[in-house]
């Protein structure tokens, strides 16, 4: 009886140990706060009122190149402009109320539903400081890989739209990968973004200078930002939906 009781107790103890071992060592909030500190700290980030990034893009599968620019203004305005050699200008923006896109093939489109909700969240300058306002929840999925580096994967669930997974480097806690869900011509798919080459942009905060985006039906797009400017004057008209 004693042996049977001991064996039973041992099984339950090991099961409990296994459950404890499976729990993440850090909560989502722990990870996000460490990332904010690694990026320069809450105080330095809050002082950024606008951000401009300019660089080049390589369209790997097509052997093409493009010039790309990103403009962002607090609290919630953003526009991305990419000029593709041999194709023209591709723009996507959010002016604080309206999400829109414009490109040569499909023309000017006002976005709605999940696309508009995603654009609104992406347009939040320094949104990482207000993640609790933007998402219903954030949960640690576990560890995975971003390239050849270990990272903590956190699932962010918004009130509207599909969840987003952000991966934070297990050593530096900088964001190393973002996975989003999209609807492609072939059906639901995922877009993967690898972020690297973080550097101080001159105000004590760090921004990624290389982004590798893997898109369904397009392949890899590699963006290299050559410069970041912060706290520059940006007219609201920069973000407005074009008239035609």
pLDDT in tens, 16-27: 444 444 455 899
Tell me the domains of the chain and their CATH numbers.
29-229 (2.50.20.10)
pLDDT value at position 90?
A: 96
Regions of the chain short of the pLDDT cut 50: 1-22
pLDDT value at position 182?
A: 81
> 91 near 81, Cβ under 8 Å?
yes
Measured CA to CA, the distance from residue 15 to residue 173 in angstroms comes to 31
How many other CB atoms sit within 10 Å of the CB of residue 103? 16
- For residue 5, give the DSSP letter: H
pLDDT value at position 1?
A: 41
Measured CA to CA, the distance from residue 199 to residue 185 in angstroms comes to 36
pLDDT value at position 129?
A: 97
79 closest CA partner among 224, 235, 213, 200: 235
pLDDT in tens, 95-149: 999 999 999 999 999 999 999 999 999 999 999 999 999 999 999 999 999 999 9
pLDDT value at position 62?
A: 87
Q: pTM (2 decimals)?
A: 0.86
**SS3 state at 33:** helix
Is residue 88 within a helix (H) or strand (E), and if so which, with residue range?
A: strand 88-94
pLDDT value at position 23?
A: 54
pLDDT value at position 25?
A: 81
Q: Is 192 exposed, middle or buried (0-12, 13-18, 19+ CB in 10 A)?
A: middle
pLDDT value at position 97?
A: 97
> 133 near 75, Cβ under 8 Å?
no
Q: Is 96 exposed, middle or buried (0-12, 13-18, 19+ CB in 10 A)?
A: middle
């Amino acid at each position: 009886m004693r042996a049977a009781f001991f064996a039973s107790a041992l099984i339950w103890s090991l099961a409990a140990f296994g459950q404890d071992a499976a729990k993440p060592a850090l909560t989502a909030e722990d990870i996000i706060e460490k990332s904010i500190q690694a990026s320069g700290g809450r105080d330095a980030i809050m002082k950024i009122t606008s951000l401009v990034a300019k660089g080049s893009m390589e369209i790997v599968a097509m052997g093409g190149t493009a010039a790309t620019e990103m403009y962002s203004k607090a609290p919630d305005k953003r526009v991305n402009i990419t000029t593709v050699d041999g194709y023209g200008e591709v723009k996507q923006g959010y002016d604080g109320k309206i999400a829109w896109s414009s490109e040569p093939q499909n023309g000017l489109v006002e976005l709605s539903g999940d696309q508009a909700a995603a654009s609104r969240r992406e347009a939040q300058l320094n949104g990482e400081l207000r993640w609790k306002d933007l998402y219903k929840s954030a949960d640690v999925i576990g560890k995975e890989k971003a390239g050849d580096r270990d990272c903590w994967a956190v699932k962010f669930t918004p009130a509207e739209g599909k969840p987003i997974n952000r991966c934070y480097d297990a050593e530096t806690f900088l964001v190393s990968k973002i996975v989003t869900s999209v609807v492609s011509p072939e059906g639901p798919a995922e877009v993967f973004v690898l972020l690297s080459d973080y550097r101080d942009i001159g105000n004590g905060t760090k921004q990624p200078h290389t982004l590798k985006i893997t898109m369904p039906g397009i392949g890899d797009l590699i963006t290299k930002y050559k410069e970041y400017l912060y706290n520059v004057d940006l007219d609201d008209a920069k973000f407005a939906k074009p008239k035609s």
